[in-house]
């Protein structure tokens, strides 16, 4: 089984910062990308940021300029540095790993989620 272990969530005041980490392990064939998604209560899960093994990044408009995604390919680890946090950033954040099992078979794995709460 592929396991994604997330850490770094918590409670922070508006304007504060948090750094999320996600370490992947298990039967991984070929990672194409890793990323972070979030889901607020009664809302759909949405993309926050992704990064490919080549280093190409993609961010949601709502977090551009505030969040930075990075990775360590050798360690199968992805990070999300979150600065200038806002109450609307409050959500459960999920780590995602996109694995190419075969050339035409892509499989997504998800972490258990880590709560980020931004409140005064």
Write out the two tokens for 88.
């609307």
Angle at 49 between CA 38 and CA 4, to 5 degrees: 65
d(CA 41, CA 31): 30
d(CA 95, CA 8): 12
Q: pLDDT band for position 36 (50/70/90)?
A: very high
d(CA 5, CA 110): 9
d(CA 30, CA 43): 31
pLDDT at 1: 80
The pLDDT tens digits for 41-84 are 999 999 999 999 899 999 999 999 999 999 998 888 999 999 99
Question: What percentage of the chain carries pLDDT values higher than 90?
Answer: 87
pLDDT at 103: 85
């Amino acid at each position: 089984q592929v396991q994604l272990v997330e850490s770094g969530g918590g409670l922070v005041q508006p304007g504060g910062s948090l750094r999320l980490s996600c370490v992947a392990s298990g039967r991984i064939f070929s990672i194409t990308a890793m990323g972070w998604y979030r889901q607020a209560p009664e809302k759909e899960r949405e993309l926050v940021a992704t990064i490919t093994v080549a280093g190409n990044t993609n961010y949601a408009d709502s977090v551009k300029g505030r969040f930075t995604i990075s990775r360590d390919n050798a360690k199968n680890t992805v990070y999300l540095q979150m600065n200038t946090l806002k109450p609307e950033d409050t959500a459960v954040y999920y780590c995602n790993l996109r694995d190419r099992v075969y050339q035409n078979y892509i499989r997504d794995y998800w972490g258990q989620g880590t709560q980020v709460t931004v409140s005064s």
